[in-house]
Amino acid sequence: MSDISQYTDQACDLLSQMVRIPAESFHETRRADFLCSFLESEGLAPARYGNNIVVRQEENDPDKPVLMLNAHIDTVAAASGYSFDPVNPPADAKRVLGLGSNDDGASVVCMIFTFIHAMKESLDLPVNLMLALSCEEERSGERGMRMLRRIVEREADFAIVGEPTEMKAAVAERGLLVVDATCKGRSAHCAHAELGVNAIYEAVAAISAIRSLQFGKVSLTMGPVGLNITQINAGTAHNVIPDTCSFVIDIRTTDSYANEEVMALLQQAAPGCEMKARNMLNHASATPQDHPLIATAAALKVETYVSPTTSDWMRLSIPAIKMGPGDSNRSHKADECVYRSEIADGLKKYLEFITNIRL
């Protein structure tokens, strides 16, 4: 049996080629074309669903569950401040540089070559494998995992979602609820302020009430709900009482509350404030403590944690963990990179994990 480390250089080369194909969310077609061609060149049969790619094990054992390896192929827009061209980076002896190299290219290539290795070596794994490369993850697009899940969840029993976690296993991740709030007043000239209703003061009262809101249920896995006011906007001139004040609420939810419950509590705390959630689908995720994924992480002494960031996991209804090479602190920043040693480590640890799943 060959050693999976033999694929380290090939994985780094594939990632370098990926980086040079721009794939901002909603514009992943060229990168999906490239990856399909590569997978076909390796003797695999990728199925295309829009810009999502699924590769199934050629012969499934009906007595084994299906483990899905999922990573996303899209990127955010390049941050300002790059010291090099983010989609045409220089070569580096120790790193693969460029937009999306860390998030989520490193997981993509490590999962691809883990799948290739398992197929070429005909490994007798405790699971059947499925490789699912999704698009539009960074923008929560309708044609990414939100669409693909209807296909893959008919076949997959559980999943590893690849994201830059330093190969630690996130056993839960907080959800995200972003709420646009607006308080209304009545405009007037500042010389006659008594004729107006200052919307800023209305918003201050609403914000105070929202900040004082008590979320009584505390998740044993994730702790309390996190809430912050992150933006505020009002006023047109220094001498006009503003009739509108808007602000943004960023809420990191837990598995103790559905997003609908959080919205109801917010509205109850500030009934005079108009509130609208940007997206109600970004729910919290947590895998049961007695699930084989958790048992395997414990047996292999993989460090576990609760992730503060969201991923395609929140769009899945099957149990999952989030685990991949790279460091989340490098994501969405200028001069993004991943170390070649991290790619090597990702290959090794993905294979070790799927080989030793404790069913």
Q: How far apart are CA 334 and CA 81, in angstroms?
A: 6
Q: What letter represents residue 232's amino acid?
A: I
Here the CATH number for the domain that contains residue 17 is 3.40.630.10
Same domain, 208 and 309: no
- 32 has pLDDT over 60: yes
Query: Which of 277, 297, 321 represents a domain boundary (last residue)?
Result: 277
Residue 250 pairs in a beta bridge with: 178, 228
Query: Which of 277, 310, 325 represents a domain boundary (last residue)?
Result: 277
User: What was the pLDDT predicted at 221?
Assistant: 84
Same domain, 123 and 241: no
User: What was the pLDDT predicted at 97?
Assistant: 98
Predicted confidence band at 2 (pLDDT cuts at 50, 70, 90)? low
Same domain, 184 and 140: no
The per-residue pLDDT for range 168-199, each reduced to its tens digit, is 999 999 999 999 999 999 999 999 999 999 99
* Residue among 99, 104, 74 at smallest CA distance from 88: 99
Same domain, 182 and 218: yes
3-state secondary structure 149-214: HHHHCCCCCEEEECCCECCCEEEEECEEEEEEEEEECECEEHHHHHHCECHHHHHHHHHHHHHCCC
pTM above 0.85, yes or no: yes
Same domain, 157 and 238: no
Same domain, 92 and 77: yes
Here the CATH number for the domain that contains residue 185 is 3.30.70.360
Token pair recorded at residue 5: 């480390």
Token pair recorded at residue 128: 């059947």
Same domain, 272 and 290: no
Same domain, 137 and 9: yes
> Reduced to 3 states, what is the DSSP secondary structure of residue 297?
helix
Question: Mean pLDDT for the chain?
Answer: 96
Q: How far apart are CA 336 and CA 46, in angstroms?
A: 29
Same domain, 100 and 212: no
Same domain, 349 and 266: no
The per-residue pLDDT for range 36-83, each reduced to its tens digit, is 999 999 999 999 999 999 999 998 999 999 999 999 999 999 999 999
Strands 169-173 and 285-286: what pairing? antiparallel
% pLDDT > 70, the chain: 99
Same domain, 34 and 169: yes
User: What was the pLDDT predicted at 40?
Assistant: 98
Write out the residue range of the structural domain in which residue 53 sits: 4-173+284-355
- 226 has pLDDT over 90: yes
Query: What length does the chain have?
Result: 359
- Burial class, 170, CB count within 10 angstroms (exposed 0-12 / middle 13-18 / buried 19+): buried
Query: Which of 223, 255, 277 represents a domain boundary (last residue)?
Result: 277
Same domain, 62 and 98: yes
Number of domains in the chain: 2
Torsion of CA 2, 11, 96, 321, to 10 degrees: -90
